[in-house]
Amino acid sequence: MSPLSIAGNEFGGATWQWFVIDATDSGNHIDNVLFRNNIGKHSSTGKNQTNPVTLRISGLSKTYPNGVRALDNLTLDIAHGMFGLLGPNGAGKSTLMRTLATLQSPDSGQIQFEDIDVIGNPGELRKVLGYLPQEFGVYPGMSAMDLLDYLAVLKGITSKRDRTEVISQVLEITNLQDVRHKYVHDFSGGMKQRFGIAQLLLNDPKLIIVDEPTAGLDPVERKRFLNLLRETARTRIIIFSTHIVDDIKDLCNDMAIMYGGRLLKKIEPAEAIIEIEGTIWTANISRKSVEELMQDHMVLSSNYNHDNSVNVRICAKSQPAANFSSAKPELEDVYFIALNNHGSA
Ligand X SMILES: Nc1ncnc2c1ncn2[C@@H]1O[C@H](COP(=O)(O)OP(=O)(O)O)[C@@H](O)[C@H]1O
Q: Which stretch binds Mg ion (CB under 5 A): 89-97, 248-256, 306-314, 316-324?
A: 89-97
Site string for ligand X, 84-103 (x = CB under 6 A): ---x-xxxxxxx--------
Find the distance separating the first CA and the last CA of the chain, reported in whole Å: 32
Is position 257 an interface residue for ligand X (rule: CB under 6 A)?
no
- H or E element at residue 34: helix 29-36
Residue 313 binding result from Mg ion, ligand X, none, given CB thresholds of 5 to 8 Å by partner type: none
State the nearest-atom distance from the C-beta of 267 to ligand X, in Å.
19
State the nearest-atom distance from the C-beta of 286 to ligand X, in Å.
37
Residue 321 binding result from Mg ion, ligand X, none, given CB thresholds of 5 to 8 Å by partner type: none
Q: Is 32 helix (H, G, I), strand (E, B) or coil?
A: helix
State the nearest-atom distance from the C-beta of 93 to Mg ion, in Å.
5
Q: Between 170 and 248, whose beta carbon lies closer to ligand X?
A: 248
Site string for Mg ion, 41-80 (x = CB under 5 A): ----------------------------------------
Is position 94 an interface residue for Mg ion (rule: CB under 5 A)?
yes
Residue 236 binding result from ligand X, Mg ion, none, given CB thresholds of 5 to 8 Å by partner type: none
Residue 314 binding result from ligand X, Mg ion, none, given CB thresholds of 5 to 8 Å by partner type: none
Is position 193 an interface residue for Mg ion (rule: CB under 5 A)?
no
State the nearest-atom distance from the C-beta of 29 to ligand X, in Å.
31
Q: Between 134 and 175, whose beta carbon lies closer to Mg ion?
A: 134
Q: Between 108 and 303, whose beta carbon lies closer to ligand X?
A: 108
Site string for ligand X, 57-76 (x = CB under 6 A): -------x-x-x-x------
Q: If binding means CB under 5 A, how many residues of this protein chain bind Mg ion?
A: 3
Checking DSSP bridges between strand 262-267 and strand 254-259, what pairing results, if any? antiparallel
How many Å is the maximal CA-CA distance in the chain?
72
Q: If binding means CB under 6 A, how many residues of this protein chain bind ligand X?
A: 12
State the nearest-atom distance from the C-beta of 263 to ligand X, in Å.
13
Residue 91 binding result from ligand X, Mg ion, none, given CB thresholds of 5 to 8 Å by partner type: ligand X
Q: What is the dihedral of CA 38, 43, 48, 52, to 10 degrees?
A: -150
Q: Is 162 helix (H, G, I), strand (E, B) or coil?
A: helix
Q: Between 87 and 196, whose beta carbon lies closer to ligand X?
A: 87
Side-chain-side CA neighbours of 106 within 13 Å: the count stands at 29
State the nearest-atom distance from the C-beta of 92 to ligand X, in Å.
4
Interface with Mg ion by CB under 5 A: which residues?
93-94, 134
Residue ranges in contact with ligand X by CB under 6 A: 64, 66, 68, 70, 87, 89-95
